[in-house]
Amino acid sequence: MTDRLADRAEEWRVVATDVPFRGNKTSVRTDEVEMPDGQVVGRDYQVHPGSVAVLALDDQDRVLVLSQYRHPVRHTLWEIPAGLLDVPGENPLHAAQRELYEEAHVEAEDWRVLVDVYTTPGGCDEAVRIFLARGVTDAEGERFAVSEEEATMEQARVPLSDLLRGALAGELHNNCLVVGALALHAALTSDGLDALRAADAPWPARPFEA
């Protein structure tokens, strides 16, 4: 046992693979994976391009949140702005800035990496980088046109304490919102926000161009 835990990259041998389903953004892959004892077993998982999310703080230290209907779970969830990495190799900071503008029509001066996570590593390879954005101001120009589920979104700005209470009470369930709020609380009560990684910190899960 070491004093500091860290995940390590590792890849067990895949003896065969198939893609039984391809969607517009994601697909399903079946790999035949050789275990350490030599046994070969099938593993089905969703192949995902990756995502970014933004925990944005305004000048009153309130977090910007959005509500959006999510059909797979039959809920309207409170979330933080987020979106897919649509272009392979896309710079995640640029994607996060785009999502903040499109979904909330705001921009930010200071950007840091808050936390990186795999959302459901047992069944999906989605990696998410959650940014902290500070110095939030209204964006200039017309709002980005929205449609489908985004057309009914509501926006609010709430204290971090409300998000922490809601998460622990089982009232807020969005992965990025809960992880982001808890990570922000941890940063505030440890080394502080200025100790967070730079916005262009390496991200081995989704390598990108500068």
Residue 150 known to be catalytic: yes
Per-residue model confidence as pLDDT tens digits over 57-94: 999 999 999 999 999 999 999 999 999 998 888 899 99
Q: Which two tokens stand for residue 180?
A: 């982001």
Neighbours of 128 (CB within 10 A): 23
Instruction: Report helix, strand or coil for 112.
Output: strand
Report which DSSP code applies to 124.
Answer: B
Rounded to the nearest integer, the mean pLDDT of the chain is 93
pTM of the model: 0.92
Mean pLDDT of 165-185: 98
Choose, from 79, 150, 154, 171, the residue flagged as catalytic. Answer: 150
Would the pLDDT of 195 be above 80? yes
